[in-house]
Amino acid sequence: MRNNPKDKYKKIDPWKLVGDTFNPDTYIDLGLKIISWPFSIFKKSIPPHAKNNSRIKILIFLISIENNFKNLSLRELKIASNILNCRWIPNNKNGTTNEITGKLLFDNLENNIEIINKYLTNLTNYQLFYLYLSLVNLNKLNDSQLNINLKNLNDISKKDACIEEVLNIYIKNRTRILFEFKNPEWKNNYTNEYSKLSSNILIYLSSLYSSIVSTDSLSKELDNITKNLFEDSDTVYKAAVDANYMSDKSSFGGPYHRLFDDSHSIGKMYEKIKDAKPGDSKLEEIIAWVNEAAKDLQTTMGLPIVSMDKETFDKTAEFLAPVGISKNDLYDLLTYNLQEVLSVAFLGITTIIPSIKKDKNKLNTLRGIMIAAGAFGNPLAIIFLVITLIHSWLKGSSEEFKKSLTSKEAFVGFSISAIIKYTIDFLGSKAVITIISILMALLIVVYLFRNKNKKIDIQKFKLQFVRELENLREMSKNQLEKQNIKPLPK
């Protein structure tokens, strides 16, 4: 008779492995059970061999949720992880514990009760009694109402009542911890780990995005993606907004005309649209105003904060030229576009996330990023900082706000943004995209190798990794030679 392939590997219940595991307590346990049963009626103490019973230890951990995980061996922790179908993190006891704790707290309560109940009903009376006794002692509960002992657990109704009480202990622990979870002073390893990770990722993304927006090459690439969100068609309203420019291109001409034609700032644009078409409704004017502003906002040149004279602009640019600020830099500082709006919105939203808002260091880092964004040509970042300064002044905490702008964390945030910006400007977008791709590939390979038990050809990946780094080295070398930058003397 040929064997069925499905029978080749049998799925092993880890719970049974606990009972089958040989350890010195196994046989002592059997003898002490017989001796201890009669005396347990009179004295409800937990003998050492009961405390070392793996099944009791695992269930105590699951029901207590946050207590005694340090008492579990790696094998016992792995079984607890298997019971709840949690992710097992090799060589990381704390990480695995956080995964289990999260499942016990945040997964569906009925499902968790069903899982725990399944393993409670498989316990012997001896194991159930000492589990119950351990939980009563651990949680400082009063068991006088049930009056459970080894003898009366032979009664089915008494055993069911004991199991129900154990499940109630789990429910009470879960409810208590979730209530404390809402208290800002309460710290939990599971939530802190992921809260810290997510807040750090948001800060890095905010810095990366604001730095990209401040560069010449990648910012134009982003502008090209969004430049056709709003259809640009010839209308009466558009003609009214461009009337000054069209009437005298010599005075208002050139790529910077929106700054000079007294028609493209938000306030001036509305005035032009309001007078463009007699008899239109207020709603039509507002819709036309939003549409015209959006069409210009989505372009690289954007919209001016305020209109100004061309002569004033030229004089200012001439004054700033010796310190390395070009006309293009000055125009960028006086105008804003869609990418800059999104950048400041991203930074603003990140600052009000609770985990970041409560962390002064991270908040200061974000302020440093905003200073960098403003210094590199985003006027909205400066306006946002001024608004927060006014808010702090009204609250009476302006001195604290000023200190935060000069703090070490703010300097770090500014430096990170500056490094990213100048790296992109110097190496070019291709090099930066290559670096990001290499880092993402490295993270994916490490994750799959450590957590998914995938067969990864590490040697092949290493060769590819080194090859890409060599390409980057050549690109940077070429840029250094192109810019005629010499190495520092020894």
Give me the phi and psi of 304, to 5 degrees please. Answer: -80, 150
Contacting residues for 320 by C-beta, under 8 A, at least 6 apart: 329, 330
Phi and psi angles of residue 71, each rounded to the nearest 5 degrees, phi first = -80, -10
pTM for the predicted model, two decimal places: 0.52
| pLDDT by 10s per residue, the chain, length 490 | 445 544 444 455 666 656 544 343 343 444 444 444 444 433 455 666 566 788 888 888 888 886 556 677 888 888 888 888 888 887 777 778 888 888 888 888 888 899 898 888 888 888 888 888 888 877 666 655 567 777 778 888 888 888 898 898 888 888 888 876 655 444 444 445 556 666 777 777 787 788 888 877 677 777 777 777 777 778 888 888 888 888 877 677 677 888 888 888 888 898 989 888 888 888 988 998 998 888 888 888 888 888 888 888 888 888 888 887 888 888 888 888 888 888 888 888 888 887 787 788 888 888 888 888 888 888 888 888 888 888 878 877 777 777 888 888 889 888 888 887 877 777 666 666 676 677 677 767 666 665 555 566 667 767 777 777 677 667 666 655 665 555 555 5
What is the residue extent of each domain of the chain?
9-186, 230-297+303-327, 340-482
Smallest CA-to-CA distance from 346 within 366, 318, 332 is with 366
Can you tell me whether residue 335 is helix, strand or coil?
A: strand
What is the helix, strand, coil percentage profile of the chain, to 5? 70, 0, 30
Whole-angstrom Cα distance, residue 412 to residue 360? Answer: 14
Helical packing angle, 189-213 and 360-375, nearest 10°: 10
> How many CB atoms within 10 Å of residue 336?
22
